[in-house]
Structure 1
Amino acid sequence: MNIKDIMIGRINIPLKQAFKTAITTINEVDEVVIKIITDNEKVGIGSAVPSAQITGDSEKSIIDAINLIKDKIIGMNIDNLEEIMSTIDNTISGNTSAKAALDMAVYDLFAQKYNIPLYKLFGGSKKSIVTDITINLGTPEEMVREAMQAINNGFKHLKVKVGTDPIMDFKRVKSIKQVARKGINIRVDADQEWTPKSAVKIITKFEDAGLDIEFVEQPVKAWDIEGLKFVTDNVRTDILADEAVHSSRDALKIMQMRAADLINIKLMKCGGFHNALKICNIAETMGVKCMMSCMAESKIGVTAAANLAMGKKNIVNTNLDMIMNFESDPVVGGVEFEENIITASDIPGLGIINITGWEEII
């Protein structure tokens, strides 16, 4: 099974409501979707979402990078997985979203060839996982309403977006905690918007108020590893490193410094499964648990992330709720959602059958 061609296209998915964080507001998902075609007419699917503020990738840069790498891997045999991944990684620096799309599609084909769903290829630890749901940044009243709706829909883990102002952030979290019934877990995501000192101050305030926060995600700037360690060292609440981790080297440095308690893996940040597996394996070796998350992306990327989370025992938390906010889902096949439960398909590979509205980019 040799790579014969790579087709590049895009899809657009409107959201039911705006996705709001401290650094961005998104009303729709625009995604680059590729199809790798083999000489026996098998098709592997991969996707890349532009996220300039996190990965530095735009739609144009993703397309340009895929076209550059494309010429290097056409003709390669899918069985030569290591060489394909090395070529994808080393043809161009950075451009992790483009690399993730290619990596995803190659693994899809590899699993199809051997007639196995990806979650089993990655270890088959479980066939279903529980996702949390993101509570958009807003007024405390708006966030409470959204949190109650999520709880009524069966969600037991709420990821609460904060980061605009520590005083208001405390009020947001406290208001949600006050209405959440017993057994509802609150996670807080500051999206890099606190300073180390203000992070320690507000997290300590959460602790003193007995809010029992499960963990706080990326409280400080991604580059500030010393600041991240300062926070981790000075609070009792677990700290999750997200934007600070783009590569296995980043993850290893953070774990060696004990700068965070948990590691968040995103395929768009690290460049796909091949590098995500390295991060997961290093974390397991170091006794650090992982979370699997996604960007604002379609069910293609969510299916990929979910399959990895299902495969690996060391991935214990997931944040893969994005498609619940879609006006409609253009992806046929892939994982299935029932409230907060995500279940894998037993179709080989990603299990994606069709993508409606896919338009080729010439």
Structure 2
Amino acid sequence: MRIDSLKISREKTRLHTPFKTALRTAVEIDCIQVEITLHNGIKGRGEASPTYVITGDSTESIEAALNGPIREALIGLDIFYFQEALKRIQACCVGNTSAKAAADIALFDAYCKLWNIPLFSFLGDQKPIQTCMTIGVDEPEAMSAIALEKVKEGFRILKLKVGEDPKLDMARIETIIKTVPDDIKLRLDANQGWTPKQAVKLIRELQQEDFPIEFIEQPVKAQDLEGLKFVTERVDIPIMADESVFSARDALKIVSGHYADLLNIKLMKCGGISEAIKIASMAEAAGVACMIGSMIESPQSVGAAAHLAAAHPNIQYFDLDAPLWLSMEPQYLIYEGENITLPNKPGIGTVF
């Protein structure tokens, strides 16, 4: 079944609340939509959203990669050569992981629609998913108030954005812990905001207080793997690599060198579902659990991540709240508090 066309479009979506991290503040996102059409008329859809400070991709670069080398790699190819098509996406250009992810998602969507099965069925199993809820970086009292609000909405795991200043971060954590019920778990995401020594000092203080911290994401700069290992070896709270992991090659280096305890997989970082599967499976062989995460992205790309999360046994943690930050109602996924239900429809669940 030949791939006849690849078309792209763009739309802008506002967030209902600014999303603040140690790296940026987002108030809206660009969604670049990719539509692949097969010879029999079946369409597959993927999407990407640029995050300069993480992937280096812009709206313009994503569109250029999709309109250029990615289109040339796919048009005219028989989709039944599915693995070949996935390889062509990854090999047609250097970098451009967001554009590759959009095309990869669209290809999986079209292929599953061709067989009339949900994506999670094609990928494996379907386990329950409970997402955490992110609390953007802010003053301690403001973060605490939002945290309590989200607990009342049904979220039992909160992901706190920190990383601007260790002393202020400690005040944020202490204030939130005093506010929320004792059974609430916390995850910290420093977004590369601490030095290795700052991270060790702060985390040891958290340990002494016996705070309910599940793990800490990317405490140091993405390229500072020795700094990451310095922190991992000196604290008891698990350390998760996020921005340090873009590919299966990156993941192999981190797990084989014991640089971190856990890995965070994001489709926009790694280039789509096909590379994400490699990361999760390779980490599983090394005994390292993974989380599926998202940046501020479109519902379509988060939906694809959710299908993968439900299907892969080594994806044990979930951070898929991005659609809940958008001013539009979530599509393709059903949120009931922290619980996510996948649509039992072909592909990712899109309807044309």
TM-score by length of 2: 0.98
Match of 1:337 in 2: 335
Q: Unaligned stretches of 5+ in structure 2? A: none
Instruction: Look up the SS of the partner of 1:5 in the other structure.
Output: strand
Instruction: Give, as a single letter, the amino acid of the residue that structure 2 aligns with 1:130.
Output: Q
2:254–2:260 contact (8 Å) kept in structure 1: yes
Instruction: Give, as a single letter, the amino acid of the residue that structure 1 aligns with 2:278.
Output: K
> How far apart in 2 are the matches of 1:72 and 1:259?
36
Match of 2:122 in 1: 121
Instruction: Look up the SS of the partner of 1:16 in the other structure.
Output: strand
Match of 2:325 in 1: 325
Task: Write out aligned runs for 1:89-128 (5 A).
Answer: 89-126=90-127, 128=128
Task: Write out aligned runs for 1:270-289 (5 A).
Answer: 270-289=270-289
1:125–1:313 contact (8 Å) kept in structure 2: no
Instruction: Look up the SS of the partner of 1:284 in the other structure.
Output: helix
Match of 1:82 in 2: 83
> How far apart in 1 are the matches of 2:50 and 2:258?
31
Instruction: Look up the SS of the partner of 2:316 in the other structure.
Output: strand
Match of 2:350 in 1: 352
Task: Write out aligned runs for 1:149-160 (5 A).
Answer: 149-160=149-160
Instruction: Look up the SS of the partner of 2:53 in the other structure.
Output: coil
Match of 1:178 in 2: 178
Instruction: Look up the SS of the partner of 2:163 in the other structure.
Output: coil
**Offset, 1:125:** 3.6
> How far apart in 1 are the matches of 2:20 and 2:242?
18
1:240–1:260 contact (8 Å) kept in structure 2: yes
Instruction: Look up the SS of the partner of 2:31 in the other structure.
Output: strand
> How far apart in 2 are the matches of 1:64 and 1:30?
15
1:337–1:343 contact (8 Å) kept in structure 2: yes
1:163 aligns with 2:163: yes
Task: Write out aligned runs for 1:230-249 (5 A).
Answer: 230-249=230-249
Instruction: Give, as a single letter, the amino acid of the residue that structure 2 aligns with 1:239.
Output: I
> How far apart in 1 are the matches of 2:55 and 2:73?
23
| Structure 1 consecutive aligned stretches of length 4 or more whose deviation exceeds 2 Å | none
Instruction: Look up the SS of the partner of 1:76 in the other structure.
Output: coil
**Offset, 1:72:** 2.1
**Offset, 1:314:** 0.9
**Offset, 1:152:** 0.4
Match of 1:357 in 2: none
CA shift digits 1:191-237 (9 cap, x unpaired): 00100010000000111111131100000000011100000000000
Instruction: Give, as a single letter, the amino acid of the residue that structure 2 aligns with 1:199.
Output: A
> How far apart in 2 are the matches of 1:177 and 1:123?
38
Instruction: Look up the SS of the partner of 1:282 in the other structure.
Output: helix
CA shift digits 1:328-360 (9 cap, x unpaired): 13x75x221111111111101011115xxxxxx
TM-score by length of 1: 0.95
**Offset, 1:30:** 1.0
CA shift digits 1:152-200 (9 cap, x unpaired): 0000000000011000001101111112212210000000010001000
> How far apart in 2 are the matches of 1:172 and 1:344?
34
**Offset, 1:274:** 0.6
> How far apart in 2 are the matches of 1:38 and 1:183?
50
Paired residues, number: 351
> How far apart in 2 are the matches of 1:337 and 1:313?
22
Please tell me the root mean square deviation across aligned C-alpha atoms, in Å. Answer: 1.0
1:34–1:45 contact (8 Å) kept in structure 2: yes
CA shift digits 1:33-55 (9 cap, x unpaired): 11111111111000111111111
CA shift digits 1:62-95 (9 cap, x unpaired): 0111112102210111111111111111110000
CA shift digits 1:272-316 (9 cap, x unpaired): 011000000101100110000111111101100000000011111
Instruction: Look up the SS of the partner of 1:124 in the other structure.
Output: coil
Instruction: Look up the SS of the partner of 2:199 in the other structure.
Output: helix
Instruction: Give, as a single letter, the amino acid of the residue that structure 2 aligns with 1:335.
Output: L
CA shift digits 1:230-263 (9 cap, x unpaired): 0000000000100000000100100011111100
> How far apart in 2 are the matches of 1:125 and 1:261?
25
Instruction: Look up the SS of the partner of 1:37 in the other structure.
Output: strand
Instruction: Give, as a single letter, the amino acid of the residue that structure 1 aligns with 2:83.
Output: E
Instruction: Look up the SS of the partner of 2:167 in the other structure.
Output: helix
Out of 190-199 and 5-14, give the one that drifted further. 5-14
1:307 aligns with 2:307: yes
Q: Unaligned stretches of 5+ in structure 1? A: 355-362
1:146 aligns with 2:146: yes
2:48–2:298 contact (8 Å) kept in structure 1: no
> How far apart in 2 are the matches of 1:305 and 1:47?
12
